[in-house]
Structure 1
């Protein structure tokens, strides 16, 4: 299954912000960071769903 990132500056900024937070705070749960990003960047429901799914899939593929 291919996931296409929704268009928009907010989702791009959110992905970048979450990635930075995960690197800076490796002990903080990723889902908590994702929830903060959804609120911080005022993401639409589609963008929020994409972000949650993106980091769930990423976590499954990491060693």
Structure 2
């Protein structure tokens, strides 16, 4: 039986999963976002949001 989750929870899990996979495998964000979209049943709009989110994060200077 499938568990119903709020859409926001799926996005949070996808972001966490992408971060973990990026650290472990070093794969590109675009490849991981594509995989996350399938694994977490995200819409194309959600995948587009994740692309912008990770792009912005990469461009932000870290102290």
Same topology, TM > 0.5: yes
Task: Give distance in 1, aligned partners of 2:33 and 2:22.
Answer: 10
| Cross-structure match for 1:15 | 15
Mapped partners of 1:40, 1:51: distance in 2: 14
TM-superposed CA distance for 1:22, in Å, is 0.7
- For residues 3-27 of structure 1, the C-alpha deviation after alignment (integer angstroms, 9 at most, x for no partner) is xxxx62110110010000011012x
CA displacement 1:14-60 (0-9 Å, x = unmatched): 0010000011012x211101111011101123322211111111122
Aligned residue pairs total: 56
Q: Which runs of 5+ in 2 are unaligned?
A: 1-6
State the structure with bigger RCO (CA 8 A, min sep 6), 1 or 2.
Answer: 1
- Whichever of the two has the greater Rg, that structure is 2
Please give the TM-score of this superposition, normalised by the length of structure 2: 0.73
- Tell me the TM-score normalized by structure 1: 0.73
